[in-house]
Structure 1
Amino acid sequence: MTTAPQSAVTVAPPMPTRRNAELLLLGFAGVITMLALLIVEANQEQGLSWDLLQYLGGYVALFAGAHLAVRRFAPYADPLLLPVVALLNGLGLVMIHRLDLAVAPGADRGPSANQQMLWTLVGVIAFSLVVAFLSDHRMLTRYGYVCGLTGLVLLIIPAVLPRSMSEQNGAKIWIRLPGFSIQPAEFSKILLLIFFASVLVSKRSLFTSAGKHVLGMNLPRPRDLAPLLVAWIASVGVMVFEKDLGTSLLLYASFLVLVYIATEKISWVLLGLALFAAGSVVAYHLFGHVQVRVQNWLDPFADPDGAGYQMVQSLFSFATGGIFGTGLGNGQPGTVPAASTDFIIAAIGEELGLVGFAGVLMLYTIIVIRGLRTAIAVRDSFGKLLAAGLASTLAIQLFIVVGGVTKLIPLTGLTTPWMSYGGSSLLANYVLLAILMRISHSARRPIDTKAAAATPIASAGTEVISKV
């Protein structure tokens, strides 16, 4: 009696989580930060102190804790995102500390590295909490309209507050209370991205409906233009009433990117750009602060000791840095007003030169590319739109910041993510990073084949996603 040969059972090896690679890269980021800080201390003829060791120890402990949170709650998240952000944050801390040393003794020191370290602690704690409690990014779709309403309210509040509670350097973008201040637009961008992604997923058929065919383009129907008009009114309103050109451009450009990704219709983008251009022209002729920004962009040397002073000093910083820079601690970045906030890129360009500046831009490029790859790999439409929106927002914000500091576009006043001094910016961008890592965890984790085979539809839709 013969028995039929049994087929061999192949057991697929478990997909690696790559958390050890993340830990190794975090250690590399810590070493670079430590060396940069020591170079600053040596070139500024500062001795090693216990405070410096505490500073480095706190930095290492913070990102070790963030790594443990990711290892425990999002083990399949992208292993490059957290280390790259840690390095950017570390370089920002080093540069802010270097600017502290440039202030004369007894003078008003302004923002300090110790304060930035405290805000980094708050941001990393918020990052860990989002990673731990946001078990599935699709939960955010339930609160899409709530997020949209909250984001709009946060944008409106500074405009209706008295100038003493909201205005700084001509822009009404703050909520100032005794012992506490916040820049709500940093959080509005995340809330509005969630709202945009939720609406575009649920109402996609409206945005893709055929409209009139004009000049080779399918224009959307008039009744489908409501979301675009609302975004246009909100962005122009921010520019006009709050004098915040950066936030206005950032929110509107992010919305157009999401609309294009969702509909694949270039007509939406062209129409949106036309609306924004028209609003900008009207604002330029009606409001003096817009005219000042544009005139300083066209010719900052027309008033080098007045309105154009900041831009002139920024250009001198880049010229002084040249290709390889003056070296950390050897330049004069303190001559640029607001060097630790709006113009930290100019300080980087002076002391690290074009090579170091390009290296920093490459770090941001890695984050954007990994975010877009996450959008490609994730399986649900909401996750695709949200991940693409978060990555695109970072790219747009970086373009606005670098373009303004280098005189490519008018200066806007946005901060450089994870590098510039500012609690609101750090906290909001760490929340953004946590959401992006949560989506990447969903995109990279293996599919539960038992759950997928429970129904014929789920079984038919099961696909294997290779590691990103």
Structure 2
Amino acid sequence: MSALENVHGAPVEDERGATVAPRQRRPLRIAELFLLCVALTAGVGAFALVHLSLDGALPGSFWAQSLSLAALALGAHIVVRLRAPWADQTILPAVVLLNGLGLAMIQRIQLSGTPGAEGANAARNMQWSALGIILACLVIWFLKDHRLLRRYTYTAMIVGLVLVALPLVPGIGQRINGAQIWIHVGGLSLQPAEFAKIAFAVFFAGYLVANRDTLALAGKKVLGLQLPRLRDLGPILIVWGASLAVLVFQRDLGTSLLFFGLFVAMLYLATERFSWVLIGLLMFGGGAFAAAQAFPHVGARIDVWLHAFDPEIYNRRGGSGQVVSGLFGMANGGLFGTGWGEGYPYLVPFSFSDFIYTSLGEEIGLTGLLAVLLLYLIVVERGLRTALGVRDGFGKLLAGGLAFVVALQLFVVVGGVTRLIPLTGLTLPFMAQGGSSLLANWIIVALLLRISDSARRPSALPVRGQVGPGRKATGTREEDGDDAYARGGHEPDVETGARVVSRPGTTPTEIVRPHGDQGGDR
């Protein structure tokens, strides 16, 4: 135990007489390790039940796949333990369980050997999962603080726009099932929009944290709603136009809805003005209605949604046959499901990607689907909890935006296959087959873990009101805010927002009082 610590964790004085907070020990993360073991047991158990039901025995590849998944999950746990010891302990186990259940269902569809299951490839999806976990570990290891991403606000915007436009570039763009959202590079097919949503989340967080006062306070009130000024509508008009361009030219309703919903949600988080939500809903609804009237492929999605059981639409090429088959599959599952390997999920086209939710519903039933939704709810809730707990405005908006994009994608997918909203073609995060989706969503997990580490980490700062010898509280605005941390300042006090600034050859005892709100948000 060092000289600045005592047994009870009470503040002590250093050799110069300054009162400092004791050093906090790293948590042991035993709870996360226990939950991780439970998640691995459930995922590996699903693998075993699939093989025992279809083959009557466990193949040799079963042990290799199971040990690989366990090694990757435990490796991620060790990386989090070393580089983000204060991170939330429930996010990683929940995501590992979702990933494991998805792999088991893809393996089950592949083993059916039917023509409709020829696209399922559990081994390839396992490789993408491994790459996603490794990529998440690299993000946690090298990104020491999430606030460094704020430096690249407008770079992230450019990257996001380029990624969205890549499928339209001749030679690399690829149209699959009527949607121009894929690129083909080096023998691999990727969906750039999955990575663009992360870039846009970084851009929106950086832009809104700098302009939220203007967006929240400027403008006139009409019927109780705070309407923005016309010049402040510029960013939302640009995002609205880009979303409609994706809808029209790439024929991708899901990605369009995802981008615009992300921006409107982060606008609300930044300003707490319901008027932005109302304006966003009206703009997107009006644009989508106009596109449905002007472009046949958009109108066809609406017809499938509204008239799925119409024989003419059911038998039409690209009609409602897939949606109806998925509904019958979930109905066949009932309350507790047919059991792993006992249903007929392969009768639904793309049952391993777009419609993996209906495949799960048939074999694990309504009870299993509710458990899956609960796992997603845990991830989203912990992400929003991280947004509430982190001290800087950029981190609040980034964590809130990333958690919301997972929730929105879940809603869009589940709502589409259950006919709550039109079918969009997005994939279920962590479960559906798709390399781009797995990589992007594991990066989101890494960013949430990094931000939660900052939110939950106790501040080893001087006790409030204590100023070291020869120092005084400056109260300058210059060292306040998120930029101060990026320039080398220390994080703010949890209660007061006071920031301790250290200079070469001195102890960190100068307290800088922030002006305005806590956390240095301007």
The answer to whether TM tops 0.5 is: yes
Do 2:153 and 2:207's aligned partners in 1 also have CA atoms closer than 8 Å? yes
2:113 pairs with 1:112: no
Instruction: Tell me the residue number matched to 2:266.
Output: 258
Q: 1:229-248 to 2 correspondence within 5 Å?
A: 229-248=237-256
4+ runs of 1 displaced by more than 4 Å?
Answer: 450-455, 457-461
TM-score scaled to structure 2, two decimals?
Answer: 0.84
Whether 1:207 aligns to 2:215 is yes
Give a deviation string over 1:102-161, Cα, whole Å, max 9, x none. 123x98722311001100111011000000000000000000100011101110121233
Of the structure 1 ranges 452-461 and 410-419, higher mean CA displacement relative to structure 2 is found in: 452-461
C-alpha contact (below 8 Å) 2:147/2:394 kept by paired residues = yes
Does the C-alpha gap of structure 1 residues 451 and 129 become closer, same or farther in structure 2, counting only changes over 3 Å?
farther
Q: How many angstroms apart in 1 are the aligned matches of 2:463 and 2:100?
A: 42
Q: How does 1:33-432 map to 2 (within 5 A)?
A: 33-104=43-114, 109-161=118-170, 165-302=173-310, 303-306=313-316, 307-432=319-444
C-alpha deviation, 1:46, in angstroms: 3.6
Structure 1 stretch displaced more, 227-236 or 31-40: 31-40
Q: Structure 1 residues 216 and 331, CA, compared in 2 at 3 Å: closer, same or farther?
A: same
Q: Identify unmatched segments of 5+ residues in structure 1.
A: 1-7
- Secondary structure at 1:225's aligned position in 2? helix
Instruction: Find the aligned partners of 2:407 and 2:109 in 1 and give their Cα distance.
Output: 26
Q: CA separation in 1, counterparts of 2:347 and 2:116?
A: 14
Q: Which has the larger radius of gyration?
A: 2
CA contact (8 A) 2:341 2:363 kept: yes
Find the counterpart in structure 1 of residue 10 from structure 2.
10
Q: How many angstroms apart in 1 are the aligned matches of 2:272 and 2:166?
A: 34
Q: Which amino acid aligns with 2:96?
A: A
1:304 positional shift: 2.6
Cα distance in 1 for partners of 2:358, 2:9 equals 61
SS in 2 for 1:327: coil
State the shift of 1:312 in Å: 0.9
Deviates more, 1:268-277 or 1:141-150: 268-277
Compared CA separation, residues 304 and 169, structure 1 to 2 (3 A): same
Return the alpha-carbon distance in structure 2 between the equivalents of residues 187 and 18 of structure 1: 33
> Which stretches in structure 2 are left out of the alignment for 5+ residues?
1-7, 12-21, 481-489, 497-522
* CA positional deviation for 1:274: 1.0
| Comparing 326-335 and 204-213, the one that deviates more | 204-213
- Is contact 2:109–2:345 with CA below 8 Å preserved after alignment? yes
Which structure shows the higher helix fraction?
A: 1
Identity of aligned residues (%): 47
Q: Deviations over 1:263-286 (max 9, x none)?
A: 111111111111111101110011
Which residue of the partner structure matches residue 493 of structure 2?
462
2:116–2:346 Cα contact (<8 Å) kept:
no
- Counterpart of 1:4 in structure 2 is none
Q: Secondary structure at the match of 1:166?
A: strand
Tell me if the contact between 1:371 and 1:388 (Cα under 8 Å) persists in the aligned partners.
Answer: yes
Which deviations, in whole Å up to 9, do the C-alpha atoms of 1:367-403 show, x marking residues without a partner?
A: 0100011001000000000000011111111000000
Name the SS for the 1:48 alignment partner: coil
Which of 18, 26, 30 does residue 20 from structure 1 map onto?
30
Q: Distance in 2 between matches of 1:214 and 1:9?
A: 54
Pair 1:216–1:10, CA change in 2 (3 A): closer
Q: Larger deviation: 290-299 or 13-22? A: 13-22
